[in-house]
Amino acid sequence: YACLLCTAVGGDPFGEEGVDVLLGDSDDAWLVKATSQKREDLLAKYKEFFSAATANEWNVLRTEAENKLKADLKVDNAGPRLGELFEDDIWETVSRKCLGCGACSYLCPTCYCFDLTDRKTGKGSEKIRRWDCCMFPLFTRHASGHNPRSIGAARLRQRIMHKFSYFMETYGVSSCVGCGRCVRRCPVNLDIREALTEVLAAGIPARK
């Protein structure tokens, strides 16, 4: 997956932090770059599988990746602004085409919503934790039948607020890594970059 939002959350499409080997998809081949001497020594053991890559090949990939980025979008200080817009009608606008299918959450590397169910096992029972999705209508439904997020606008708002406000406030970093998986796989092309930009611009007069 290409980095589509990573620079907005402090990342880099070719960042090497925490990476053993950097891979670049060059259509008919993969470019491979070791990030330490230890990794270079490992790759050297399998040198028959590799041919030398040029700096220009890496530069082409970097240019292609940077051209896909929405460079003007920054989310470091988005939290307070999102909080101000919690009750704004903009959430209804940006959520209109969302199907609530959950593809974005299931593909997201940082989503961790789960549900707990009980299952009988002979004379006893066991509690099972299973993967769930906050974009599903039933995720927040209470035993009483009340659902605090019964409409799609409230669920999309929760997703965006969690990624760019709540998590940031608690841990000091965004819960979005900017990988772009949700953008690439949404069946109705609901682009979180465009949605976030539209929300943050709500109520701000357009420049003439």
List, for residues 72-107, the tens digit of each pLDDT value: 787 888 999 999 999 999 999 999 999 999 999 999
Looking at 67, 99, 129, the residue that finishes a domain is 67
| Percentage of the residues of the chain whose pLDDT score is greater than 70 | 95
Closest CA to 59 of 89, 26, 105, 83: 26
pLDDT band per the 50, 70, 90 thresholds, residue 144: very high
Q: Kindly state whether residue 49 falls inside one of the protein's structural domains.
A: yes
Q: Indicate if 85 and 60 belong to the same structural domain.
A: no
Distance between CA atoms of residues 105 and 12, nearest Å: 22
Note down the domain range covering 92: 78-200
Q: Kindly state whether residue 9 falls inside one of the protein's structural domains.
A: no
pLDDT given for residue 25 in this prediction: 83
Residues 6 or more apart whose CB falls under 8 angstroms from that of 127 comprise 116, 117, 118
Q: Indicate if 175 and 195 belong to the same structural domain.
A: yes
**Has this prediction a pTM greater than 0.75?**
yes
Which range of 40-49, 57-66, 162-171 scores highest in mean pLDDT? It is: 162-171
Distance between CA atoms of residues 100 and 20, nearest Å: 36
What is the domain count for the chain? 2
Closest CA to 153 of 104, 84, 87, 198: 87
Q: Indicate if 33 and 135 belong to the same structural domain.
A: no
pLDDT given for residue 204 in this prediction: 65
Q: Indicate if 21 and 85 belong to the same structural domain.
A: no
Q: Indicate if 178 and 109 belong to the same structural domain.
A: yes
pLDDT tens for residues 12-21?
A: 888 888 888 8
Q: Indicate if 32 and 128 belong to the same structural domain.
A: no
The chain-wide mean pLDDT, for the chain, equals 89
pLDDT > 70? residue 2: no
Q: Indicate if 62 and 134 belong to the same structural domain.
A: no
- 49 neighbors 56 (Cβ within 8 angstroms): no
Report, as an integer, the average pLDDT of 173-198.
93
Q: Indicate if 21 and 56 belong to the same structural domain.
A: yes
pLDDT > 50? residue 207: no
Q: Where are the alpha helices (DSSP H) in 116-180?
A: 152-161, 167-171
Q: Indicate if 56 and 152 belong to the same structural domain.
A: no
Provide the b/e sequence for 73-94 (b: ≥16 CB within 10 Å): bebeebbebbeebeeeebbeeb
Distance between CA atoms of residues 89 and 40, nearest Å: 54
C-alpha 56 chain-centroid distance: 30
Q: Indicate if 83 and 130 belong to the same structural domain.
A: yes
- 102 neighbors 133 (Cβ within 8 angstroms): yes
pLDDT band per the 50, 70, 90 thresholds, residue 206: very low
pLDDT band per the 50, 70, 90 thresholds, residue 27: confident
Which residue spans within the chain are E strands per DSSP?
Answer: 21-25, 30-34, 114-121, 124-131
The three-state (H, E, C) secondary structure of 29-48, written as one string? CEEEEECCHHHHHHHHCCHH
pLDDT tens for residues 107-124?
A: 999 999 999 999 998 889
